[in-house]
Chain A
């Protein structure tokens, strides 16, 4: 699977109005379920994974999270791009310290090779100030899809 194909025009949700992590994950999980990307078990698996092994990552320029569930809860691979209206408290990967994130890349992974390239790409992007500035200035969902698609090809 080419990881660029994991980005989907119907999986960009900007300025989502949720107050906490559970609310956000419920919201996104129901969208993903409706669109056929995940199984019924996804939401619970997503929360369990986040409780056990938090996915927040902080760079100099932005705080993000990379929520994901194990492959058996996924129907087809995807990357779902989400920003929230207000920052949401999550925990930082490994350190389990609190961070406030308003950017979430939900990763639907079926093979670890896809994950590897994706992770590498995201880690590089969030440390790139130009990317973060552009990302944060885009409010239109189809424009955001195009923008990230281009950044992935670079």
Chain B
């Protein structure tokens, strides 16, 4: 099962908002078998390597970026989904990431 992690800053629910949007998008488009989870920036370094796609709302720092590079994780800007402005840009990248997994 493909796994997506969405990470925001600390203590806020912006990552949960984006998780809801992504889950709705998958449901609307009949995409199944994808696990979408939210976390905050503090927990991210410890768990990131377990995921296939990383959707960021707070810009990744060097530590995060090196985990992304080392584990070949698809990194997607989730802000368009968060603000609702041109979210299709992010969705396209997520879909591309999912496709590259199954390829």
Binding site for B on A (CB under 8 A): 49, 52-53, 57, 59-60, 68, 70-71, 93-96, 109, 112-113, 115-116, 119-120, 123-124, 127
Contact = CB atoms under 8 A, between A and B. Distances in A.
Interface of B: 8-14, 16-17, 20, 41, 56-59, 77-79, 82-85
A97 to B, nearest CB: 10
A71 B10 CA distance: 10
Nearest to B38: A112
Given A59-B85, A60-B85, A123-B84, A94 B10 contact: no
B83 A52 contact: no
B85 to A, nearest CB: 7
19 contacts: A52-B10, A53-B9, A53-B58, A59-B83, A60-B85, A70-B11, A93-B14, A93-B57, A94-B57, A94-B58, A94-B77, A94-B82, A95-B59, A96-B59, A109-B12, A112-B16, A116-B16, A119-B17, A123-B83
B10 A123 contact: no
A60 B83 CA distance: 11
Contacts of A120: 17
Contacts of B85: 59-60, 127
B41 A112 contact: no
Given A109-B13, A112-B13, A116-B13, 12 more contacts: A59-B83, A70-B10, A93-B79, A94-B56, A94-B58, A94-B59, A109-B12, A113-B13, A115-B12, A115-B13, A116-B16, A123-B84
